[in-house]
Amino acid sequence: MAAIAELRDLLGSDRVLDDPLERRLYSKDASLMRGDPVCVVFPGDAEQVSAIVRIAARHGLPVIPRGAGTGLTAGASPMTGGIVMSMTGMNTIEIDPDNQAAWVGPGVINLDLSKQARPYGLHFAPDPSSQSACTIGGNLANNSGGPHCLAEGSTTSHVLGLEFVTADGQIHEVGGLAPDQPGLDLRALLVGSEGTLGIATRILVRLLPIADDVRTLLLDFPSVEDAARTVSDVIAAGMVPAALEMMDQRMVMAVENWLGAGLPTDAAAVLLAEVVGSTATVESEASIIAEIGRSNHARNVVIAVESEDRELLWKGRKSAFGAIAQLAPDYYLHDTVVPRTRLVETMAGVYEIADRHDLTMLNVFHAGDGNLHPLIAFDSSDEDVARRVKLAGEEIVDLCLSVGGALSGEHGVGVEKRDLMPSSFSALDLDAQARIKDVFDPDHLLNPAKVLPQGSRCFDFGGVRREVPEGAWV
């Protein structure tokens, strides 16, 4: 293929992969949906990204940006073929301690950024469960969150600016260190756009000071409802802790079998809360949370002060998805958001859906902001089970939307929720979003067939209709 020859002239043969096995390895992210790329490329800087985009445009090939492939909605799966652009080689970090900021490459691992910022007394607040593997570029694409984003906000609150390449190969820079940048806030528009409007090549992120003191609380409850009420009561008391995370009994058992962190496997639910600040503040807030928990029938309250104890508790929380490997070869994880005041009834509905479809459901979620992560463990090779999993997933989304929720909190829309967008957005909303896509990418070559469903604005993808293959979700 002529395009592959041009890409090899640009990057060298070792950074252009087109062997069938290599293409297979990059044909999906951590979702259940797989595509078939023409090739995989590994740019080293913005100029090479620009050149790749221009080559792709000349040959009418889509470009699918990819970070670590930890995404769960097929946002990095090449569903329409094309060129998968792996950004992992663009991983420079330039710390600016005076401005509490850093310029980073999109391929920088989330946790690596905080490690390099630590000597300056700083850290990067967004901390997805996959933070030891996921990239900053992927965090930007999906506006990722994490357990510690309750008080500080998700990725959009921590991106000050970025350099990016548009569909015509031009390199632009938006945002910056100065507050209240003049003109349209294109930075906010690009964060969360899932690579459909441009490809980030450098990102200016905000870094926050490491807290003076920390307390992490583990509370266990005889019912999920008691734990959920505790979350609402903590917020109602006027506190916004650094984190409020919940795991149900099935998830606690899986994590404990996996890690041995000392979690109470006989509890119906556990709540992990963390408060940060001065020693006086954290001691006071930890005491209040403990009392609220006990008033909601918490059986035990453990307050971890030492860093080793706190790290073990958080390791247990962040090992949740990996622990599922003990139960089944696959899992289907949803990412919806509901008002905190509707947590109790929503969780009851989620369990009812799983039971009705005879599925193994585990729950772990950011309870403080109502960001649910119902997780179904299953074997995708069983077609009947896969069918029931898909139906249950759609019912869970409908349930969350019916109580005033949102489609996604941090994982993005991708392909998984693309066709559910009309359930959450009006025809006018979808048309407005489609018009923005047309402005940035008129030929629809940047991560096409993602986020917006067919018909949002009579998509024709530059005259060539690109359909997602039948049965591509498994």
CATH architecture of 1-210: 2-Layer Sandwich (3.30)
Could you tell me where in the chain the CATH 3.30.70.2740 domains are found? 327-402
What is the Cα Rg of the chain in Å?
22
The CATH T-level fold of domain 327-402 is Alpha-Beta Plaits (3.30.70)
Residues 6 or more apart whose Cβ sits within 8 Å of residue 463: none
Phi, psi of 200 (to 5 degrees): -70, 135
Could you tell me where in the chain the CATH 3.30.70.3450 domains are found? 213-321
The CATH T-level fold of domain 213-321 is Alpha-Beta Plaits (3.30.70)
Q: Other CB atoms closer than 10 Å to residue 138's CB: what's the count? A: 31
Could you tell me where in the chain the CATH 3.30.465.10 domains are found? 1-210
Residue with tokens 């000071």: 209
Q: What is the pTM of this model?
A: 0.91
Q: pLDDT, tens digit, for every residue of 381-405?
A: 999 999 999 999 999 999 999 999 9
Q: pLDDT, tens digit, for every residue of 222-255?
A: 999 999 999 999 999 999 999 999 999 999 999 9
> From CA 220, how far away is CA 209, in angstroms rounded?
31
Lowest-confidence range among 60-64, 182-186, 218-222, 248-252?
182-186
Q: pLDDT, tens digit, for every residue of 109-131?
A: 999 999 999 999 999 999 998 99
- Judge contact between 15 and 42, C-beta under 8 A: yes
